[in-house]
Chains A and B, each alone.
Chain A
Amino acid sequence: MTQFADGITPEIAASHLPADEYEKTVEILGRAPNIVELGIFSVMWSEHCSYKSSRTHLKNFPVTGDKVIQGPGENAGVVDIGDGQACIFKMESHNHPSYIEPYQGAATGVGGILRDVFTMGARPIALMNALRFGAPEHAKTRQLVSGVVAGIGGYGNCVGVPTVGGETNFHSGYNGNILVNAMAVGIADTDKIFYARGAEPGQPIVYVGSKTGRDGIHGATMASAEFDDESDEKRPTVQVGDPFVEKKLIEACLELMDTDAIAAVQDMGAAGLTSSSVEMAGKGQVGLQMDLDKVPQREENMSAYEMMLSESQERMLFILKPGKEHIAEAIFNKWELDVATIGETTDTGRMVLTHKGETVCDIPLDPLAEDAPMYERPWARAIPEPAILASELSQPNDYAETILTMMVSPDLSSKAWIWKQYDRHVMADTAASSEDPADAAIVRVHGTNKAIAITTDCTPRYCENHPIEGGKQAVAEAWRNLTAVGADPIAITDCMNFGNPEKENIMGQFAECVEGMSEACRVLNFPVVSGNVSLYNETNGFAIPPTPAVGGVGLIPDMSMRMGFGGVKTGDILMVVGDTAGHLGASIYLKVIENREDGCPPPVDLDVEKRNGDFVRGQIRDDAIKACHDLSDGGLAAAASEMAMASGTGLNLVHDSELELHGWLFGEDQARYLLAINEAKAKDIRKAAKASGVPLHVIGIAGGNALTINGTIEVSISDLAAVNESFMPTLMGEAE
């Protein structure tokens, strides 16, 4: 016979936890949970906070390496960038809230990921984002793009952290569930990194930042459920952000971090006060005693339940060393932010909350964190689709027209309409952002001559058709993009966006993507140091394409070694690193020209990827390369078009291989780079490639003002630029 506490009906219990998990709470407590306790168990054990479906697979990721200071498990990953400095970064999803309320959903996504980074003591130096919207023609797409872009800009611009890059795709698979993945990157001194662990009994718990309101209650639970037609009714669970408070919070926290007052720190993100306090206690193996009457409150008569589950933004929780409260008070008062000592750590191992003189919660902490459910959900392997080679497809009649059609397509078109709304230059260290011809963003480490390179990548159509190869490819492309700007790739963060894990095929997509990603991370020595899982991205039973977004970070040891794909001049020799077999399965060409999305994506040979990339990076550092662009979406034709547009100089390609021309131009074979080489250096680089066993093919020469192929096919740079720039303004109803 199931027990229930006073005021708890079976319906209330069921709306918080599945029956078996409810029974577990009764077992842990030795009695039925009250409403506050039920709320706390429900958010801590939500998919969003507990990773209960994904943990069993995520443990396969390689998470260590000689540069890794902190892997997954803290607020963000930390890697060593030399000279006593660390780069701290993470990517996180804010998909569900952004679909319901695009401006605030996206804005608070940016705010949340920034807090994850500065909580660890880093000054944020860059923001990135990976966005997936529904089909351009879908009725909601324009409104969602408009709101999400304004929200990202509205928050990032105000806090004064440059938004330097990202990617945006459109596909009908996201019609009912858009993806908004935001990434933040910060820099700290390696001896000034702050963790959630470190608390000891008898230390004050200090709340800082905004007051607590009723917004966002059960946001973490919402993010762990499917959508249906009534999802708009969930709008009140979306939080509201205030970037002005966040900016003050960054400055105040960094000021406090300059003192020796802090024992542990955690931002209040998903599940707010509950998860921040529980995580710090769990990591310090201590208990918590908090008086909720002392929590700064924005609204009257808030209940203990509401305070513990609120996801009001711009709040942090510190555990200070005893007697240091006055230091925090002085700093937060100066910045006109709330600061309140709301309790202390204990040696009981229990979380005890009082409100209005009564004990409203008394839970043993260890089982709350450690006994969280973990599922071995059944999963099924995807059935591989056959490869599609160029020889199986008829050639287009008009190649020039085909290239223009591809360059105006949603995935290849210019996203200037989006990135012009982001401040990319604040902090005055941006060396390359979305506007610049470079495969990754480049941000100088302030006051030094080294730079961080950052990229976000994923090709969902590959993951859909072959999750293992797609998972490998997402990691490999991030590694390649960092290589193409001259960086040493260091590590990745990930944002695993999938449908309902209770379905075998979806869980299979997840498991196989993780499998592919893990293999790529291992071979490329490119470990996972942080990440986030977003499941249940489904509406009315339709799941999104599997989208394991990868955020890669690398180091450019000297700014003079950075590389881009512009600046090509007449007479430069064009070469392609890597072999082209003409793989057109799941390619942009197949989708845009043949209106098909089937076929196996191009296989990823990780050893070849590594060999070719290491060669390219070495040649960049030997100053042998003038311009470098990775070959990915749209193949050689897209890369050459972009290089020509960026340089204002034509590229004249000569096709003299056995491979059909459409395979050569549009094939998306991996591990390839397009290079422009000064004529005087052409001989040396060919010699070097031969010595390294790297295939290097001369494919043409720069000059004129058009992209030409064999002198017969010609597309002018001005036509390319005109179509490439037209898609976004047309979509947004702002075409001139």
Chain B
Amino acid sequence: MKSAVIVFPGSNCDRDAAMAIEKVTGTAPTMVWHQETALPDGTEFVMLPGGFSYGDYLRCGAMAGVSNIIPAVKAHAEDGKPLLGVCNGFQVLIETGLLPGALMRNASLHFVCEKSPLTIENGNTQFTSQYGANRDVIIPVAHHDGNYFADDETLDRIESEGQVVFRYARNPNGSARNIAGITNSEGNVMGMMPHPERAIDVDHGGTDGLAVFESILGSA
């Protein structure tokens, strides 16, 4: 499977994302610098990694959301191919309008890093199909701005259409309706605050994040 990880100045989970993709797909992804304007030919999966793109200046993900590579990333999504944004990547997806809602400063006003128990709300997505009957997982979070917000109408809609994929079992940031991860209405773009790429290894963070990457591999 041909994958790409987009690297913005300030990305800091790009290496972790690449390790996870390579571990599951057997092939290292292409690291695509933000100033490129095209993805490598034949790219089947794109990941926007965590970090502090552009130092979180202006607003988390705002500047990355208008960088040179973004039109190509949008075109990839419009083609129906899988696109995953984790943490800062989720913030970028929201800024580009590929996902609804907003991510505000954590309710505690503190950065929060912990192993977060999650419930899988929808196990039939391109990103969760390999979880099988398992619905309770633990995946680490690490962010300052992960407090998901949308108006009630939007929240009702994404809930009723199965777009809410992950919920916090112990809400770390004040997110509306404990939402930790959502997809677009087509189901091929997912953003999540927890870091599945940090949970692929018994020696670091456990293995509850592996199935996200296995699902993408299975669906592509």
- A residues with a Cβ closer than 8 A to B are 150, 153-154, 157-160, 242-245, 247-248, 335-336, 419-431, 435, 444, 559, 734
Contact = CB atoms under 8 A, between A and B. Distances in A.
A308 B204 CA distance: 45
Contacts of B205: 425, 428, 430
22 contacts: A158-B12, A159-B12, A160-B13, A243-B52, A244-B54, A245-B55, A247-B9, A247-B10, A247-B12, A335-B9, A336-B9, A421-B110, A421-B113, A423-B113, A425-B113, A425-B140, A425-B204, A426-B142, A428-B197, A428-B200, A430-B205, A435-B114
Given A157-B144, A428-B204, A244 B55 contact: yes
A553 B41 CA distance: 46
A435 B115 CA distance: 10
Interface in B45-63: 50-52, 54-57
Nearest to A158: B52
B114 A420 contact: yes
B2 interface: no
Given A150-B110, A420-B114, A422-B111, 19 more contacts: A154-B111, A157-B113, A158-B12, A158-B56, A244-B52, A244-B55, A247-B9, A247-B55, A335-B9, A421-B111, A421-B112, A425-B205, A426-B12, A426-B13, A426-B198, A428-B20, A428-B204, A435-B115, A444-B203
Interface residues of B, number: 33
Q: Which one of A158, A244, A248, A425 has the greatest number of beta carbons of chain B within 10 Å?
A: A425
Nearest to A446: B15
Given A157-B142, A421-B112, A426 B10 contact: no
A425 B19 CA distance: 14
Nearest to A431: B203
A107 B114 CA distance: 21
B55 A158 contact: yes
Contacts of A154: 111
A154 B143 CA distance: 11
B110 A420 contact: yes
Given A242-B55, A243-B55, A244-B57, A559 B203 contact: yes
Given A158-B56, A243-B52, A244-B57, A425 B142 contact: yes
Q: Which one of B52, B195, B201 has the greatest number of beta carbons of chain A within 10 Å?
A: B52
A159 B54 CA distance: 11
Contact of B142 (A247, A423, A429, A559): A423
A90 to B, nearest CB: 22
Contacts of B112: 420-421
Contacts of A430: 204-205
A350 to B, nearest CB: 39
Contact of B10 (A153, A158, A422, A427): A158
Contacts of A424: 113, 142
Contacts of B195: 425
A184 B195 CA distance: 24
A552 to B, nearest CB: 22
A379 to B, nearest CB: 44
Nearest to B19: A428
Q: Which one of A242, A243, A336 has the greatest number of beta carbons of chain B within 10 Å?
A: A243
B207 to A, nearest CB: 12
A559 B202 CA distance: 11
Contacts of B44: none
A644 B111 CA distance: 29
A332 to B, nearest CB: 12
A559 B108 CA distance: 36
A118 B153 CA distance: 50
Nearest to A163: B113
B159 interface: no
B121 interface: no
B136 interface: no
B46 to A, nearest CB: 20
Nearest first, the 6 A-B pairs at minimum CB distance are A160-B12, A244-B55, A428-B16, A423-B142, A158-B52, A421-B111
Given A336-B9, A421-B110, A421-B112, A431 B204 contact: yes
A25 B32 CA distance: 55
B67 to A, nearest CB: 12
B36 to A, nearest CB: 12
Interface string B29-51: 00000000000000000000011
A421 to B, nearest CB: 5
Nearest to A430: B204
Interface in B101-142: 108, 110-115, 140, 142
A428 B10 contact: no
A679 to B, nearest CB: 26
A150 B111 CA distance: 8
Contacts of B144: 157
Contacts of A420: 110, 112-114
A158 B10 CA distance: 7
B31 to A, nearest CB: 12
Contact of A428 (B108, B113, B115, B198): B198
